[in-house]
């Protein structure tokens, strides 16, 4: 099985630099339908061209977890950060990722116990418990009561820094992305739209929008109802970072 399906929408956003023209959406990626996945590599592979499998961008699922790769930047094995969703169907040891930090979020299911080799245990309970830990730690995932879907954020230590928030979406939310930072918005439940001139289509549950600032600070207004995971990624050398405003815009 290919696991959860995901769609990625990427946008450069609206610049708030003086006299700059608004940027428009530049790319849209979507998951290949399950029946087109390679059975030997059960990822929902992403491509910008519907109907073609981007095998170079796929990372094979490990152990008993099917994984839908949302995005890895840059592509290839030497990525700085990566987003994916794992479907865990039975107890299994996690793969080791030396030099990587990671955060795991329970998306669906009745819970997951993480048992580390040093004796520490931590349980992720519904609705959306999460845990941040070093990727080189040896850990086994034990299902509490049936399969789970889990959101996985990974980033390379020393290159980038990453933060993740789980937020209810009730009306407008304003996101400011500073130069050099990237925001990912993964809609866990509900529906949402960008109430600005970014050019992005509406988001449905399971969609992920990538908001990237290049030379100017960007302002995005996300409006809707539901729940979202908000991820901010920035180079380690970046300054104070981005601001996240949860109040309705003026």
pLDDT by residue for the chain (250 residues), tens only, comes to 344 444 555 443 333 333 222 222 222 333 222 222 222 222 222 222 222 222 222 232 333 456 688 999 998 889 999 999 999 999 999 999 999 999 999 999 999 999 999 999 999 999 999 999 999 999 999 999 999 999 999 999 999 999 999 999 998 999 988 888 999 999 999 999 998 777 778 899 999 999 887 778 888 899 999 999 999 999 997 444 444 444 333 3
125 and 235 assigned to the same domain? no
The rounded distance, in Å, linking the Cα atoms of 163 and 177 is 13
230 in any annotated domain: yes
For residue 8, the model assigns a pLDDT of 53
Q: In DSSP terms, which residues pair with 134 in a beta bridge?
A: 101
117 and 152 assigned to the same domain? yes
The secondary structure of 166-197 as a DSSP string is EEEEES-EEEEE-TT-EEEEEEEEEEEEE-SS
151 and 189 assigned to the same domain? no
Last residue in a domain, options 156, 177, 202: 156
149 and 207 assigned to the same domain? no
Q: How many CB atoms lie within 10 A of CB 90?
A: 11
The set of residues, in sequence order, having a beta carbon less than 8 Å from that of 18 and lying 6+ positions away, is none
Integer-rounded Cα Rg, in Å, for the chain is 18
190 and 110 assigned to the same domain? no
For residue 28, the model assigns a pLDDT of 30
CATH number reported for the structural domain that contains residue 228 in this entry:
2.60.120.10
The rounded distance, in Å, linking the Cα atoms of 173 and 181 is 18
The rounded distance, in Å, linking the Cα atoms of 71 and 46 is 8
134 in any annotated domain: yes
Number of domains observed in the structure of the chain = 2
Describe the chain by its helix, strand, coil percentages, rounded to 5.
Answer: 0, 50, 45
Full-model pTM: 0.73
149 in any annotated domain: yes
Q: Which domain holds residue 107?
A: 29-156
54 and 75 assigned to the same domain? yes
CA 33 to chain centre: 19
For residue 107, the model assigns a pLDDT of 96
The rounded distance, in Å, linking the Cα atoms of 99 and 191 is 36
């Amino acid at each position: 099985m290919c696991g959860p399906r995901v769609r990625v929408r990427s946008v450069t956003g609206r610049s708030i630099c003086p006299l700059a023209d608004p940027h428009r959406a530049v790319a849209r990626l979507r998951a290949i339908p399950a029946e087109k996945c390679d059975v030997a590599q059960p990822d929902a592979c992403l491509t910008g061209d519907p109907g073609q499998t981007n095998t170079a961008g796929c990372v094979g699922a490990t152990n008993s977890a099917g994984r839908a790769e949302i995005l890895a930047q840059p592509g290839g094995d030497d990525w700085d950060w990566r987003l994916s969703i794992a479907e865990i169907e039975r107890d299994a040891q996690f793969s080791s990722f030396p030099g990587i930090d990671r955060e795991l979020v329970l998306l669906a299911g009745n819970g997951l116990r993480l048992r580390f080799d040093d004796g520490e245990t931590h349980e992720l309970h519904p609705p959306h418990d999460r845990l941040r830990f070093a990727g080189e730690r040896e850990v086994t995932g034990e299902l509490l009561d049936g399969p789970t879907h889990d959101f996985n954020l990974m980033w390379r230590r020393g290159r980038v820094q990453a933060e993740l928030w789980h937020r209810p979406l009730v009306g407008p939310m304003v996101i400011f992305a500073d130069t050099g930072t990237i925001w990912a918005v993964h809609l866990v439940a509900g529906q949402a739209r960008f109430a600005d001139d970014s050019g992005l289509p509406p988001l449905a549950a399971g969609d992920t929008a990538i908001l990237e600032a290049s030379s100017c600070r960007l302002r995005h207004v996300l409006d809707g109802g539901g729940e979202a995971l908000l991820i901010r990624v920035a180079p380690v050398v970046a300054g104070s970072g981005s601001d996240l405003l949860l109040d309705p815009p003026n």
